[in-house]
Amino acid sequence: MKMLLNGHWLDRPQKIEVRDPHDGSLVDTVPLASRDDMHAAIEAAEAGFLRARAMPAHQRMGVLQRAAQTIEHEHETFARTIAREGIKTIREARKEVTRCIQTIRISAEEARRLGGETIPFDQMPGSENRLGYYRREPIGIIGAITPFNDPLNLVAHKVGPALAAGNAIIVKPDSKTPLSALKLARAIHDAGLPLGVLQVITGHGSEIGGLLVVDPSIRMISFTGGLETGLKIMSKVGLKKVGMELGSNCPVIVMPDADLQHAVEANVSGAFWAAGQNCLHVQRLLVHDHIYDEFCERFVSKTATYRVGDKLDEATDMGPLINEAAAVRVEQLVEQAIADGATLLTGGERTGAFYAPTVLAHVPDHTPLAREEIYGPVTVLYRFHELDEAIDRANDVEYGLQAGIFTNDLNTAFHAADRLHCGGVMINDSTDYRIDAMPFGGVKGSGLGREGIHFAVEEMTELKLICVNLQSPISSSPISIT
């Protein structure tokens, strides 16, 4: 596939090979962009922004609506692209395509909602003759850096709001999974977007990603990825807006009054969706003493039935990690936890890039698996006796994206929701639950700002105030009240 630079689909002599992590087979190639290519994209985006901000809302809406129709029409093609280049099974990939369509359509609706409010200037003595209001304006050029785990919908979560708000945007997709981003760009480009408003530049982050971060023409960086990379970006970004989602170590609390079967099924799905390569992955399960043994038995039994294998097989529940190196990293973290005293309940086996769904207990607090983001199909079980004990343990990491609690008691649910230090609390759902319209983001090491289309549009716009000093009084005589 070719990359999109200033409205043209361009190739380059040097290529990046996109390989299926299942077996290493070649899926396609994309251009290996140079620093000159990124400089050209930034220059083109400066002109593209002028075109984007001049587009009336109905034109922005029309482009996004037509793009959504194209994706819907090519639903299965998009899904197979996601499954081939990345880590999702075909069933998981289809759900991602459906969510992407919703993301783009909601973005189109947000284009009509860019409004403001009037300001009562007469609250200040001497300002009785002033009228004013504020409105939202596009911020400029946005640089988007996206990960491999949701190669279509996470790109849409940056592109859709950016276009709805009248910005230009340059996307640097993960070099392991660039094909879905390019297909999305093709759908939007063909829907009538002006030159330079959206560009997708394929290359290595070390070569071209840094240019987006430091170039003063880029007014916002929207990044989804790891904490370490996020910290590096923050050290270089300069004076511009930043939106970051940096992963987590998500906890779920299971109370003794919970619907046990529902809690098991929801959390097995939350633990092993996309092979655990998911910022909302259920990594820590905190289970009350009274039900721990039964919950543990059911959870391990359900995990052991998970079908791992060919992503394109309709019967497969879980595919591989993104590459063998990622699977080796997970394997080493599990082995270290076991060496530190953890008990392996199921899984713990690696075959190439595949790592079996794995459950551990008795994981000591000091081992990395208890505190870091595993980014793999591994979940840890803990016992607790008092709710506040579980909440304290849930909060005792440097992440805070989403947390969950399963209970049928409203007082318990809202007590936990109030005390859990995170961006979102799911009651009777795993941490993996999300809809694309909700505010999404974390605290502490989980990031800055919020995604979710309406909230991303706010992040990608700036307020402008307009105040008019009328030369003649609004009212020349006071009103008498009798």
Least Cα distance to 430 among 242, 278, 229 occurs for: 278
Helix, strand, or coil here: 463? strand
Helix, strand, or coil here: 406? strand
For residues 281 and 374, is the Cβ–Cβ distance under 8 A?
yes
**C-alpha distances in Å from residue 102, one per residue of 178, 191, 453:** 21, 17, 10
The predicted pLDDT at position 480 comes to 55
For residues 108 and 64, is the Cβ–Cβ distance under 8 A?
yes
351 CB-near residues (< 8 Å, 6+ apart): none
Bridge partners, 9 (sequence order): 4
The arrangement of strands across the sheet holding 241-245 comes to 8-10, 3-5, 198-200, 168-172, 141-145, 218-224, 241-245, 447-448
Residue 164: Cβ within 10 Å count: 30
Residue in the block written with tokens 């809809």: 435
Least Cα distance to 166 among 100, 240, 112 occurs for: 112
For residues 423 and 402, is the Cβ–Cβ distance under 8 A?
yes
Maximal CA-CA distance, the chain: 88
Scanning 74-195, the segments in alpha helix (DSSP H) are 75-85, 90-111, 153-164, 179-190
**Average pLDDT per 10 consecutive residues for the chain, totaling 482 residues:** 97 97 97 97 98 98 98 98 98 98 98 94 94 97 97 98 98 98 98 97 93 96 94 94 95 98 98 96 98 98 96 97 97 98 98 98 96 96 98 97 98 98 98 96 96 97 96 61 54
* Residue burial 31-60, b: 16+ Cβ < 10 Å; e: rest: bbbeeebbebbbebbeebbeebbebeeeeb
Which residue among the candidates 92, 96, 245, 331 is catalytic per the annotation? 245
**C-alpha distances in Å from residue 368, one per residue of 278, 335, 365, 422:** 18, 11, 8, 20
Integer Cα distance of 359 and 230 in angstroms: 29
Residue 100 annotated among the catalytic residues of the structure: no
Residue 245 annotated among the catalytic residues of the structure: yes
Enumerate domains of the chain plus CATH numbers: 3-246+446-466 (3.40.605.10), 250-427 (3.40.309.10)
For residues 9 and 18, is the Cβ–Cβ distance under 8 A?
no
Q: Label the pairing between strands 130-138 and 117-119.
A: antiparallel
**Amino acid occupying residue 356:** A
175 CB-near residues (< 8 Å, 6+ apart): 16, 202, 203, 204, 205
Integer Cα distance of 338 and 352 in angstroms: 21
Q: What is the 3-state secondary structure (H, E, C) of 364-399?
A: CCCCHHHHCCCCCCEEEEEEECCHHHHHHHHHCCCE
The predicted pLDDT at position 378 comes to 98
For residues 436 and 153, is the Cβ–Cβ distance under 8 A?
yes
Integer Cα distance of 404 and 407 in angstroms: 10
Which residue among the candidates 100, 250, 279, 422 is catalytic per the annotation? 279
**C-alpha distances in Å from residue 90, one per residue of 76, 97, 268, 352, 458:** 9, 11, 18, 20, 34
